Amino acid sequence: MNEKRPLVAVLTGAGISTDSGIPDYRGPQGLWQRDPSAQELVTLQPYLASTEVRRRAWLMRRDAGALAAEPNAGHRALADLERAGVPVRVLTQNVDGLHQAAGLSARKVVELHGTATEVQCVRCREVGPMAAALDRVAAGEDDPACEQCGAVLRPRTVMFGEALDERVLAQADAIAKACQVFLAVGSSLQVRPAALLPRIAVEHGARLIVVNGEPTPYDAEAAEVIREPISQALPKLVRRLVDGDLAAL
């Protein structure tokens, strides 16, 4: 008998990637707390206006080593959920590409804030791999320009000072409305518009589960709040979903 399985939507924030060595920018020990000046390196207007800001931004990307990060047990658990046949869509605030690297189908991942694995020219819109641009930085280029037209290269992320892609937001909104289970994993749930997605899901009848180390504004509305480390909690939660243990959620 083919029983229809519930759609599981998963909103992931920085907390799911910290075990992969990628810092949580907004948390109590996050980069913005430790060095508020670093925020201008990912803010659109200073980035476009200043060669020095871009030079510092390229050095930050080079030194962060994000492209060398490997998926952890949390990312792999969500890929296991898909492999088990559970309908799943991941709405991620992260730009690290680790969900896809863990084996989750790219079409199942909605990247709300874009991707840091690619660069794009601000003039001709040519897209290329971030790794190739970082190789140019390693070879001595302070501010690698577009090889097609010579204009400024930027990461394909949503930077501070610009809006999210309306098509991406519409896709995320539709998923939040359609799901039966909504997991909020490793997100502060304070950054809009992504923080509105749990509300949309709950208002359309979804069961909300929050997995996060710190309290969130949605804890009181959640059917379950899990404070365990994500790399431990998510594999267990996925097993429950695969087993159809929704009544216990």
Please list the active-site residues: 113
CA distance 237 to 183: 10
CA distance 60 to 201: 36
**Contact criterion met (CB below 8 Å) for 107 and 175:** no
Q: Tell me the β-bridge partners of 92.
A: 12, 111
Pairs from 219-227 (Cβ < 8 Å, separation ≥ 24): 222/184, 223/249, 224/249
Length, in residues, of the chain: 249
3-state DSSP of 42-86? HEHHHHHHCHHHHHHHHHHHHHHCHHHCCCCHHHHHHHHHHHCCC
**Contact criterion met (CB below 8 Å) for 95 and 157:** yes
Q: Smallest Cα–Cα separation from 45: which of 150, 160, 153, 156?
A: 160
Helix axes 130-138, 51-64, angle to 10 degrees: 100
**Contact criterion met (CB below 8 Å) for 217 and 195:** yes
How many CB atoms sit inside 10 A of residue 68's CB? 9
Pairs from 222-229 (Cβ < 8 Å, separation ≥ 24): 222/184, 223/249, 224/249, 229/19
